[in-house]
Amino acid sequence: MSSGSVPAPQQGYTYIALLVAVAVIGIGLAATSEVWSQSRQREKEQELLFSGEQLRKAIGIYYERTPGAVKRYPEKLQDLLEDQRHLPPQRHLRRVYADPMTGKADWVLMTAPGGGIMGVHSRSDATPLKSANFSEAHASFKGARRYSQWRFVYQPTQNPSLPAAPTPARELPPPRAAPSS
């Protein structure tokens, strides 16, 4: 044997140990990737709940603040950005939020019986991670099998807590003088 060489049986153990280490690292990376993926999906679910609720509330405010006796839903989501029915125009929403599940502002619009948009829902047919413990406003989402079943709909009798339109200030008549006796 030469003085610097390793005996033949020990060379195979180093190779096997290296293969085991690579396998363990691969399993760890796969587990980390799964946890990260679920974490990201939970974030998207929270974004969907927020965005959908903002749209539902804006639709409700638009409906409730309709001038005149006959209430109307918006014809398109852009009507929520600048409501031309008032002077000056009112903004019920700062922007039309993107659907976090698709990454686009491609909501499915739910049409009201008399016309207009009364609600929205996602186009995504992916299975939600969250299936219970929803807030009271979203209790109908319990057990939904797809994100497209999470429907954000404004129905007039459902939410009397929407902010009312500001009423213009009016002048009070001058006080009457007390009758002299």
Has residue 7 been placed in a domain? no
Has residue 5 been placed in a domain? no
pLDDT tens readout for residues 140-172? 999 999 999 999 999 987 544 555 444 444 444
Has residue 178 been placed in a domain? no
DSSP state of 179: P
Q: What's the CA gap between 25 and 23, in Å, rounded?
A: 5
What's the number of domains the chain is made of? 1
> In which domain, by residue range, is 75 found?
16-153
Chain-centroid distance, C-alpha 142: 16
Q: What's the CA gap between 173 and 181, in Å, rounded?
A: 24
Has residue 176 been placed in a domain? no
Q: Are 102 and 122 in contact (CB under 8 A)?
A: yes
Q: What's the CA gap between 98 and 106, in Å, rounded?
A: 7
Q: Are 110 and 118 in contact (CB under 8 A)?
A: yes
Q: What angle do CA 56, 59, 94 make, to 5 degrees?
A: 85
Has residue 172 been placed in a domain? no
Rounded to an integer, the average pLDDT of 61-69 is 92
Q: Report if pTM > 0.85.
A: no
Has residue 76 been placed in a domain? yes
**Least-confidence region, from 46-50, 128-132, 141-145, 157-161:** 157-161
Rounded to an integer, the average pLDDT of 48-64 is 96
Has residue 126 been placed in a domain? yes
Query: Would you state the pLDDT for residue 106?
Result: 93
pLDDT tens readout for residues 67-108? 988 899 999 999 999 999 988 999 999 999 999 999 998 999
Has residue 20 been placed in a domain? yes
